[in-house]
Amino acid sequence: MAIGGQFPATVLNSRGPNPFGAKNMENRELFSEKVRQLREFIHKKAGNSLKMYADEVAVIALLERDERFIVLASLAYSFSKFHEKTYIEASKELDELIENVQFELAKASEALENDDEKEFSRIVFGCEAMVRDLSASLGRYIINLTFKSRLKAAAKMYSHGASLGVVCSLAKVDKDELSNYLGHTTVSDKYATMSVRERMGKVFAMLGG
């Protein structure tokens, strides 16, 4: 994927096309809780909490195989970075973005209550697009912030033993881009020699298997 490109609203969920059905009520409830937490952290402008939330939700995305959790992680990390830039923190554009994203996330919660999976997906991907637009117009970032946020989510999943192929497919990032990103962290060194069996064992351990 090109840096700063559009992310297709593809839902990769191993549980089937309708994770909000009666058999998967816990999935809907998990989304509901994570949206509630995200709204709270955005409202409080809690940078550290947003970063920890992003890491947690990235792991959930791996376990659930659902890109929409990646989007929530991307939103959290992006807002945490916005608050690190004084000129963005003080801008009316960020205030407007927070108001708009909060409004949309409230609608996303309503969609969850109504079992409207399609509307929920449309809203959360739309929120990421709004953040991407502000990053492009105001951020002065070398690469688009939402793309970097997805790279960080992919790196987090990789650090928990998933393969490059799996995390790149789920986070919608390019393998070369992720490899380059990992090359500047300690994650790649830690997992460079891990076998597929060892990776899967680590993931199953997180599932309690």
CA-CA distances (angstroms) from residue 184 to 83, 178, 180?
23, 10, 7
pLDDT digits (tens, 9 = 90+) for 18-59: 445 443 556 899 999 999 999 999 999 999 999 999 999 999
The pLDDT assigned to 73 comes to 97
State the virtual CA torsion across 74, 131, 52, 176 in degrees, nearest 10. 40
Domain ranges of the chain: 22-206
Pull the structure tokens for residue 85: 């830039």
pLDDT digits (tens, 9 = 90+) for 129-152: 999 999 888 766 656 889 999 999
> Regarding predicted confidence, which is higher, 183 or 106?
106
The pLDDT assigned to 116 comes to 92
> Regarding predicted confidence, which is higher, 203 or 180?
180
Residue 207 has pLDDT above 60, yes or no: no
CB contact at 8 A, 144 and 136:
yes
CB contact at 8 A, 147 and 81:
no
User: What value does the mean pLDDT take over residues 3-9?
Assistant: 38
